[in-house]
């Protein structure tokens, strides 16, 4: 019995190694390319240096697009929570007609390819309403983040006992007071988790932003994509590695502090 068991363990270890190589391999390649001491993007790197990592912080176009992406991610996620938290509460606590259909509709932006979402918003919302680039980006990113807000907050509400709310109502609190004084404090971790997921999603968004950015208003991922057409030095690889590390660090901290995996 020992030999078959050892063979199964070996097969499992090889499969796990292959999956890790598939998932982490591209990141390792980009990170090493960003640490290259040469003048062109290449792998294996031509020596190791922090030259291009440091140079990224001095590039004006990347700094401007970084601040735009940061403001956009914070603003869109905040708006998505303002819409998503009441929607999640209504779906979780009330017998809404067609509730399952509404839930499916609310997560549609997660299922539909981003290119289709971007094209649809451009054709049927941005152009007819004559929205500026900034408002178009806010609208699009909010649409993309709302499903995360609804899904995560709904999971948090499912773990909150309804009799706590009923007790507050029986003691004289209104439904609105119960929502703000009882429900919101108890689902705070879920709201923070939704904010983090929405922020990371918005900040790294490419397909939808590609349709909606304009002259002088470009998000960081789109700025990086455009730069690749004209510049072939390791700065893009260095910036890509920094963005990946930032996203990993945010999610890791959220998982450790909030138990993010409970909500997604």
How far apart (Å, rounded) are the C-alpha atoms in residues 249 and 246? 5
Give the total number of structural domains in the chain: 1
Q: How confident is the model at residue 18, as a pLDDT?
A: 83
Question: Does residue 162 lie within any of the structural domains?
Answer: yes
Contact between 155 and 190 under an 8 Å Cβ cutoff? The reply is yes
Question: Does residue 128 lie within any of the structural domains?
Answer: yes
Question: Does residue 179 lie within any of the structural domains?
Answer: yes
Question: Does residue 213 lie within any of the structural domains?
Answer: yes
Q: How confident is the model at residue 6, as a pLDDT?
A: 67
Tokens for 194?
């939704």
CATH of the domain at 127: 1.10.3720.10
Question: Does residue 6 lie within any of the structural domains?
Answer: no
- pTM score of the predicted model: 0.80
The CA distances from residue 226 to 61, 116, 123, 132, 189, in Å, are 11, 20, 23, 21, 37
Question: Does residue 117 lie within any of the structural domains?
Answer: yes
Question: Does residue 199 lie within any of the structural domains?
Answer: yes
How far apart (Å, rounded) are the C-alpha atoms in residues 199 and 149? 11
How far apart (Å, rounded) are the C-alpha atoms in residues 154 and 50? 44
| Coil, helix or strand at residue 49 | coil
Containing structural domain, residue 230: 59-262
Contact between 212 and 137 under an 8 Å Cβ cutoff? The reply is yes
How far apart (Å, rounded) are the C-alpha atoms in residues 235 and 53? 7
Question: Does residue 1 lie within any of the structural domains?
Answer: no
Q: How confident is the model at residue 1, as a pLDDT?
A: 47
Q: What is the pLDDT along the chain (264 residues), one digit of tens a residue?
A: 445 656 667 777 778 788 888 877 777 877 787 777 777 777 777 777 777 788 788 888 788 888 988 899 999 999 999 998 888 888 877 777 777 777 777 777 777 777 777 777 777 777 777 777 788 888 888 888 888 888 888 888 888 777 777 788 787 778 888 888 888 888 888 888 889 888 888 888 888 888 777 777 788 888 888 877 777 777 888 888 888 888 888 777 766 766 655 555
């Amino acid at each position: 019995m020992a030999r078959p068991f050892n063979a199964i363990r070996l097969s499992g270890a090889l499969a796990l190694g292959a999956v890790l190589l598939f998932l982490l391999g591209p990141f390792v390649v980009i990170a090493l390319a960003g640490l290259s001491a040469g003048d062109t993007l290449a792998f294996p790197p031509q020596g190791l240096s922090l030259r291009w990592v440091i140079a990224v912080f001095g590039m004006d176009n990347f700094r401007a697009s970084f601040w735009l992406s940061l403001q956009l991610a914070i603003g869109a996620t905040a708006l998505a929570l303002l819409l998503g938290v009441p929607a999640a509460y209504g779906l979780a606590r009330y017998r809404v007609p067609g509730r399952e259909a509404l839930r499916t509709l609310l997560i549609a932006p997660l299922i539909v390819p981003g290119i289709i979402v971007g094209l649809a918003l451009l054709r049927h919302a941005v152009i007819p309403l004559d929205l500026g680039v900034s408002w178009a980006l806010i609208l699009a990113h909010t649409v993309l983040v709302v499903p995360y807000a609804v899904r995560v907050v709904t999971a948090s509400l499912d773990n909150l006992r309804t009799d706590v709310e009923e007790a507050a109502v029986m003691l004289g609190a209104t439904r609105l007071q119960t929502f703000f004084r009882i429900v919101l404090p108890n689902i705070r971790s879920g709201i923070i988790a939704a904010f983090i997921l929405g922020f990371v999603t918005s900040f790294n968004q490419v397909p939808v932003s590609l349709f909606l950015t304009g002259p002088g208003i470009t998000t960081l991922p789109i700025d990086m994509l455009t730069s690749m057409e004209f510049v072939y030095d390791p700065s893009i690889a260095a910036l890509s590695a920094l963005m990946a590390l930032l996203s990993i660090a945010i999610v890791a901290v959220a998982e450790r502090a909030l138990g993010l995996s409970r909500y997604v």
